[in-house]
């Protein structure tokens, strides 16, 4: 599933105001429960963030969810990844920098 760009309000990171924003990828491995993807997307929505790319696959009893999110500081992305790790049924979260925001323009 690919989501098109929408004009959504951004939420400033008060602890990292001067940091550049990036495009990051969250890669989650979780138990294949129907509500995992909704709970993860809700974490992003509560931060006024939306994934511009999402891929979900269940294979060998593991749900793998890849989300790309733009306009987020690395510090904030790390905090969101930590919150994702705390969700029930989420086994692992890897955070990767995809490309600088300048490359998206």
For the chain, domain boundaries? 35-104
Mean pLDDT, all residues of the chain: 84
The stretches in the chain having pLDDT less than 50 are 1-6, 8-9, 101-105
The pTM is what? 0.78
DSSP type of residue 94:
E
pLDDT digits (tens, 9 = 90+) for 66-94: 999 998 999 999 999 999 999 999 999 99
Cα–Cα distance, 58 to 67 (Å, whole number): 15
Please tell me the predicted confidence (pLDDT) of residue 103: 47
Cα–Cα distance, 81 to 77 (Å, whole number): 6
**Chain CA centroid to CA 19, Å:** 18
Query: What length is written for the chain?
Result: 105
Encoded tokens for 38: 């909704």
Give 28-60 as a DSSP string.
EEE---TTHHHHHHHHHHTTT--EEEEEEEEET
């Amino acid at each position: 599933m690919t989501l098109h760009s929408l004009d959504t309000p951004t939420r400033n990171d008060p602890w990292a105001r001067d940091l550049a924003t990036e495009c990051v990828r969250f890669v989650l491995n979780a138990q294949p429960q129907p509500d995992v993807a909704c709970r993860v997307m809700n974490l992003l929505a509560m931060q006024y963030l939306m994934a511009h790319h999402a891929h979900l696959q269940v294979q060998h009893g593991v749900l793998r969810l890849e989300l790309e999110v733009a306009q987020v500081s690395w510090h904030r992305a790390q905090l969101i990844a930590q919150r994702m790790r705390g969700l029930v049924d989420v086994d692992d979260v890897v955070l990767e920098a995809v490309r600088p925001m300048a490359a998206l323009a």
